[in-house]
Amino acid sequence: MRTFAAKRTGTVPAQPPKRRAFSLLELMVVVSIIGLLAAISVPAIKGMSQGKALSSGHQQLHDDLNRARQEALRLRSTVYVVFTPTNVWGSFSALQQRVNEMVSVSGTAPERFREQALRTFTNIALGTYHGYALLVEREVGAQPGRAHPKYLGPGWQTLPDGVIFSPRLLLETPALQIGDRENHLIHSLPVRDFSFPIAEFPGDLLPAVPMRFIAFGPDGRLAVDEMNLVWRANGRNDLTLPPLSELTVGVAQGSVFIARLAAAPGQDLGPLDPSVPPDVIETPRDNATNNRVVISSLTGRSKILKAVLP
């Protein structure tokens, strides 16, 4: 019997292509590129966020200054934009003593007033360098000889996170030199005692608190005479506003550090330490010069001062 071998055609069945994996070196290169892109983009995104917050704070200050002017016209009374004291706790002992007298001795206030006063003071202390309020001491028709201070609108407000008032507004600054006012240099605001209203209790029953302020008169103009009187009384004749001048204020990027006492067991944060003044850092220094608002003494209107690039 003859057998015949199958004829070979010379073709081999197709095999699936082999997949080549990434080498360790290639993976390291990719990871390095991703890390480099992240290092470049994250600061840029953070800077954009900070710039947006600063712009919002700048606009907020401008809007509320104009609102204070409008309220002065509406109420036909002087309206003050008051700023949180740099160390409001300096007045705490006097407040505490007065509250104890009202609650425990004279009985003119209920027990809840003690906690309310402490809470209000604490909230204001946390707003150092970025808290402010619109305050009116007396309205048309009020009883003569007695102040009835009250906050307007939402009460105490704060600038956006990471935005502060220029420390030059709230601290003592060097004497103004020739040309400083024309160049819109930011300087110390006047400071005087204001009654401290808390909820339903009249402010004239409580100790006064020294606060920096901007005043708008019943005619909507800056209350230049009152502000100049306070500056002169504090020995700052160089800061007085001449006729047809402008007052410059500003906001800046910065941080405020407030000291706290040790926390009690079971608490995350301790109470504020009234013995340590808050510490403020403006980053970068004097960056409020690019975020200024100018108030006309003649009209009381404010406008945003655009930064002039060199």
In a domain, 207, yes or no: yes
Burial 178-211, CB ≥16 within 10 A → b, else e: eebbeebbbbbbbbbebbbbbeebebebbbebeb
More confident residue, 267 or 192: 192
In a domain, 20, yes or no: no
How many separate domains does the chain show?
A: 1
Q: What is the pLDDT of residue 294?
A: 94
Q: What is the pLDDT of residue 241?
A: 94
Q: What is the pLDDT of residue 144?
A: 58
In a domain, 153, yes or no: yes
CA distances (Å), origin 80, targets 71, 109, 134, 213, 307 = 10, 27, 6, 6, 27
Which tokens in the block code for residue 71? 């309220």
Q: What is the mean pLDDT of the chain?
A: 81
Tens of pLDDT, residues 148-206: 778 888 888 999 999 999 999 999 999 998 888 888 999 999 999 987 666 545 555 67
In a domain, 13, yes or no: no
Q: Residue 198 corresponds to which amino acid?
A: I
What mean pLDDT comes out for the span 244-255?
Answer: 92
In a domain, 24, yes or no: no
Burial class (CB in 10 A: 0-12, 13-18, 19+), 134: buried
- Percent of the chain at pLDDT exceeding 70: 81
Tens of pLDDT, residues 53-89: 888 888 999 999 999 999 999 999 999 999 998 877 7
Whether 7 has a pLDDT exceeding 60, the answer reads no
Whether 217 has a pLDDT exceeding 60, the answer reads yes
Tens of pLDDT, residues 117-151: 777 777 788 889 999 999 998 766 666 556 677 88
Whether 290 has a pLDDT exceeding 60, the answer reads yes
What mean pLDDT comes out for the span 109-116?
Answer: 80
The pTM of this model reads 0.78
In a domain, 106, yes or no: yes
CA distances (Å), origin 8, targets 2, 5, 14, 91, 108 = 19, 9, 16, 106, 115
In a domain, 22, yes or no: no
In a domain, 7, yes or no: no
Domain of 156?
Answer: 30-305
